[in-house]
Amino acid sequence: MEQNLKPELHSPAQLAFAGDAVYEMLVRTYIVKNFDYNVNIMHKEAIKFVKAASQAKFVKILDSILTEEERKIVKRGRNAKITSAPKNQEMIDYRYATGFECLFGHLYLRNESERISFLFDEILKIVYSD
């Protein structure tokens, strides 16, 4: 089976699919390493990171430190055809969240772990500054 090593050739849905998993692992790893809570409380902590409204907020705040290429990836994801959004989510937040997940998928598929770590550290600052 031939591998596609060019993330820019993947669809926004594919990038978001990968990015969602990468980001979820970052969040869960951070929470498990830093909080001695029961699973229900850890889940509530994770919600701060993973709900569409939060991801939309993060990507907007991070925009000033994204590269031009990263902004294009976010825009591709944001503008991708989305047929449905989860209940209780604004469609615009869901679109930005898809762009956010595309960014993480793109960076992961390009093996840019340092950039992923940097952006996640910036997200931690946003979450815990409130």
Nearest to 97 by CA among 65, 64, 49, 129: 49
Structure tokens at 71: 């902004």
Has 63 been annotated as catalytic? no
Contact 19, 101 (CB under 8 A): yes
Helix/strand/coil percent split, the chain, to 5: 75, 0, 25
Catalytic residue among 20, 36, 63, 93: 20
Q: Collapse the DSSP code of 82 into the 3-class scheme (helix H, G, I; strand E, B; otherwise coil) and give the result.
A: coil
Nearest to 118 by CA among 10, 26, 24, 17: 26
Contact 100, 59 (CB under 8 A): yes
Q: Collapse the DSSP code of 84 into the 3-class scheme (helix H, G, I; strand E, B; otherwise coil) and give the result.
A: coil
Please give the positions annotated as active site: 20
